[in-house]
Amino acid sequence: MTVRTHALYQPWSVRNLELRNRFVMSPMTRNFSPGGVPGPDVARYYARRAAGEVGLIVTEGVGVDEQQAIDSPRIPVMHGDEAMAGWKAVVDAVHAAGGKIVPQLWHQGAMRDPDISDNPQWRGHRPSGLWGTVGNTSSPADYVARMEAPHAPMTDEEIADSIAAFGRSARRAIDVGFDGIAIHGAHGYLIDTFFWADTNRREDRYGGDAAARARFGVEIVAAIRREIGEDYPIFFRFSQHKQQDYDAEIATTPDELAAILVPLAEAGVDVFDASIRRFNRRVFGEEHTLAGWARRLTGKASMAVGGVGMNNWLRDMATGRGETLSVDNLDEVEQLFDAGEFDLVAVGRALINDPEWTRRAVAGEAFAPFERDRLARLE
Ligand SMILES: Cc1cc2nc3c(=O)[nH]c(=O)nc-3n(C[C@H](O)[C@H](O)[C@H](O)COP(=O)(O)O)c2cc1C
């Protein structure tokens, strides 16, 4: 057992946020907040990871202040006094345990399933009314069948309302003590359906080339920056893959990716959270990872994710391909960090499995065996 001293295990800061190391709890929906309100069990769950020395917690996706932002009534929201009191208790518990925490603001858009919501009369917002061409997907067939039919594209008023909803929720989050804001711009949800040419066929200022498709996300970042000022960092999660099609792309070249990410950076993003199946996977050729490209193209910090501490990637586990195991792959994480591929490392399943995962990583201790049923519990 040798204490690890690599830069990954040392402090790092962005704007006024100081982290004790570069490990970040990846955003993970847990569905344990009835009525959208996170309770004491949610506070204990996050505080345990803070006590386990994770540098930063990004919460599960949290619905922004618009009724049709999310579907399940067990997903937490960032509006309403009851939910905000719940979040204040979460933030206080994390800070008391020595941790830092930012909420992942979420608008599900095309992926919102009216049938599991309390308000089935509201359909999820879609830039052009489309769910997306079904490709390599593990979404259940009955869900796809329900979602596939097109409906009305978002109106200008709906676009303006959704942007404002992100701004309001960011403000409320900062008011209860969150340390910054994370935005969910990935995986086929609302912002990502603007980036993706397949779902964005608009002929107005929000559609067209990559820069025009980025505009909705850019206006959200700008609204949040206006609301929260200059002290707090903004994290932005983006992805090539969609739940509608794992092989989909928002950009086919680094130049096209730059056309999306650079305006987001200029609007106020500090850290690009490059969501991908495995942290070491190269894109656009063999040279760089998605996080590596984001860092090089924007000059901002980036975060890698996918399979850190795990032998496989999430979808292999979800589709039952092979056994899912805890592994120590930190040597490879360190090598890619040294090659300048990212500044932060997000850890998902390994941190649900073991709240002490980061402390063990720092101490050079063996990791706990992976127990899949922990993903169904809030501990
Ligand atoms: C149970 C579960 C829920 C997730 N929910 C979200 C979410 O709300 N927002 C998000 O951006 N990603 C979500 N993800 C993806 C994770 O943040 C992460 O990118 C993915 O699990 C890969 O990291 P890992 O291999 O370390 O688990 C979720 C993953 C899991 C396992």
**Among protein residues, the one whose CA lies closest to atom 5 of ligand 1:** 28
Residue 353 alpha carbon to ligand 1 centre in Å: 13
Determine how many CB atoms are found less than 10 A away from the CB of residue 296: 15
Write the burial class of residue 278 (CB in 10 Å: 0-12 exposed, 13-18 middle, 19+ buried). Answer: middle
Q: What is the pLDDT of residue 193?
A: 98
CATH of 7-376, one of 3.30.1360.120, 3.40.50.720, 3.20.20.70, 3.40.50.300: 3.20.20.70
User: Given the DSSP bridges, would you call strands 12-14 and 17-19 parallel, antiparallel or unpaired?
Assistant: antiparallel
Residue 83: which region, alpha, beta or left (left: phi > 0; alpha: psi -120 to 50)?
A: alpha
Residue 246 alpha carbon to ligand 1 centre in Å: 15
> What torsion, rounded to 10 degrees, do the Cα atoms 311, 316, 317, 322 define?
-70
Contact by Cβ (8 Å): 8, 333: yes
Q: What is the pLDDT of residue 316?
A: 84
Contact by Cβ (8 Å): 212, 263: no
Q: Which of 300, 316, 290 is nearest to 264 (CA)?
A: 300
Q: What is the pLDDT of residue 315?
A: 84
Closest ligand 1 atom, residue 278 Cα? 25
Mean pLDDT by 10 residues, the chain (379 residues): 92 98 98 98 98 98 97 98 98 98 98 95 96 94 93 97 98 98 98 98 98 98 98 98 96 98 98 97 97 98 97 86 93 98 98 98 96 95
Closest ligand 1 atom, residue 237 Cα? 11
Catalytic residue among 189, 206, 232, 246: 189
3-class SS at 320?
coil
Cα distances from 188 to residues 56, 135, 194, in angstroms, run 25, 12, 9
Q: Which residues pair with 274 in a beta bridge?
A: 238
Residue 104 alpha carbon to ligand 1 centre in Å: 12
Ligand 1 binding pocket includes 197 (Cβ within 6 Å): no
Residue 75 alpha carbon to ligand 1 centre in Å: 14
Is 189 designated active site? yes
Determine how many CB atoms are found less than 10 A away from the CB of residue 378: 14
Instruction: Take residue 300 and report the two structure tokens written for it.
Output: 């901002």
Closest ligand 1 atom, residue 375 Cα? 1
| Residue ranges of domains in the chain | 7-376
Q: What is the pLDDT of residue 317?
A: 86
Q: Which of 338, 346, 339, 224 is nearest to 279 (CA)?
A: 346
